[in-house]
Amino acid sequence: MSGLRFYRHWIACALLVPAAAGAHHSRTQYDGSEVQEIQGELISVSWANPHAAFSVRVTSASGETATWQLESWGSPYVLSRMGVTQDQFVVGTEVRLAGRASTLVPNRFLLTNMLRPDGTEVVLTTEGDTFWNGRQVGGRSQWQNQKISNAAEENRGLFRVWSTARMGQARANRIMLTPSALAARESFDQSKSFVVTCEPQGMPTVMNWVYPFELSRRDASTIMLRSEYFDLERTIHVGPAAAVPAAGLAPSRLGYSVGRFEDGGRSLVVETTALNWPYYDTIGTPLTPDVKITERFTVSEDQSALTYRQTVTDPATFTEPAVHESQHLALGETIERFVCAPER
């Protein structure tokens, strides 16, 4: 390989980075910390986004007490998909905990497992299972994907609530960044991320989370997309009057979306422009006002599953269009109110 070809190959590989749309804010403060066990009295439970949180009073061997702040791996919605609910945590009980202590903040803990006094082990991560081999609630093995059995009989096509099929789908996607976009991403202060401060986000980020969303027809020219994430509502214009106005269209964080049906009505293709949300993901990958987003929602033949494919074009950020694909199921879920609590 010639020197010039080798240099180009090296640059391309250096700018090939995992897509993190929909990823949580950085947990680098727990990197390098080994799995630890602590024990204490559960004194508070916060069942809110971006993740469930707990406080535990820990007493040392010398009798000194300290309050530890615990961050669970999953949000309340993610935990519910594993059968973990708020009422399983009883304030005032003595619990054992497994996870990783922060390398930056004293008495802060990323919680993966909690052992209750009755011997039940609550697993708070989709990436693992029991730590003490107790009776298990939650964890990777208990992720619930029971599709409704009569989707074809209902014959609703695209128009229902769709739930994510599995966690970590964005990790399979890759994006190619320009040098300037990579530099902007590296300088992004994740400690002040909009995820941490509970700021509603824009397209395309809002479509790449794990929360359920619903497609519905409002009238002949309008489709509504409602997501549990931040109680989001998008308007998709369809039909002859759906073209982007020639002038006077103010940019917004959700942009202006125009849709059309393909594949005999099984697919909805949506083009979105006029965006002013400046990020592709939650870790600072930038977007410019020139960004264009194409989405394809395709329902399966038995109407119990949906494939979502998102293509983002922005020459200032990507050397080739960024593609994200995820799978969703008809589980019969409903859209719940989104409650978010800024981090302490």
pLDDT at 195: 80
Picking from 304, 303, 294, 286, the residue whose alpha carbon sits closest to that of residue 325 is 294
| Residue 328 region by backbone torsions, left for phi larger than 0, else alpha for psi between -120 and 50, else beta | beta
pLDDT at 168: 64
SS3 158: coil
SS3 140: helix
pLDDT at 11: 40
Rounded to whole angstroms, the Cα distance separating 209 from 207 reads 6
Is the peptide bond prior to 204 cis by the omega test (within 30 degrees of 0)?
A: yes
pLDDT at 325: 94
pLDDT at 24: 47
pLDDT at 169: 64
Rounded to whole angstroms, the Cα distance separating 90 from 87 reads 7
Beta bridge partners of 53: 46, 71
Cβ atoms 280, 286 nearer than 8 A? yes
pLDDT tens-digit readout, 331-344 = 999 999 999 987 66
Rounded to whole angstroms, the Cα distance separating 233 from 284 reads 24
Beta strands in the chain, from DSSP E residues, in sequence order: 16-18, 35-46, 53-59, 65-72, 94-101, 108-115, 120-123, 135-138, 161-164, 174-176, 213-219, 222-227, 233-238, 256-262, 267-273, 292-299, 305-313, 322-329
Alpha carbon separation from 235 to 8, 98, 211 (Å, rounded)? 42, 44, 18
Q: Cα–Cα–Cα angle for 278, 281, 285, nearest 5°?
A: 60
Rounded to whole angstroms, the Cα distance separating 69 from 67 reads 7
**What are the structure tokens assigned to 85, written together?**
């609910």
DSSP 8-state secondary structure symbol assigned to residue 18 = E
Rounded to whole angstroms, the Cα distance separating 253 from 202 reads 4
Residue-range domain boundaries for the chain: 31-142, 151-329
**What are the structure tokens assigned to 35, written together?**
């799995």
The β-bridge relationship of strands 256-262 and 233-238 is parallel
pLDDT at 23: 44
DSSP 8-state secondary structure symbol assigned to residue 6 = H
Q: What is the CATH number of domain 31-142?
A: 2.40.50.140
Q: Provide the CB-side half-sphere exposure for 32 (13 A, CA).
A: 5
pLDDT at 166: 84
**Rounded to the nearest 5°, which phi and psi values hold at 318?**
-115, 140
Give the dihedral sign, CA 84/123/163/203. Answer: positive
Please identify every stretch of the chain with a pLDDT value under 50, giving residue numbers as ranges: 1-14, 20-25
Looking only at Cα atoms, what is the longest distance across the chain?
75
Q: Provide the CB-side half-sphere exposure for 50 (13 A, CA).
A: 20
pLDDT at 194: 82
pLDDT at 150: 93
Beta bridge partners of 55: 44, 69
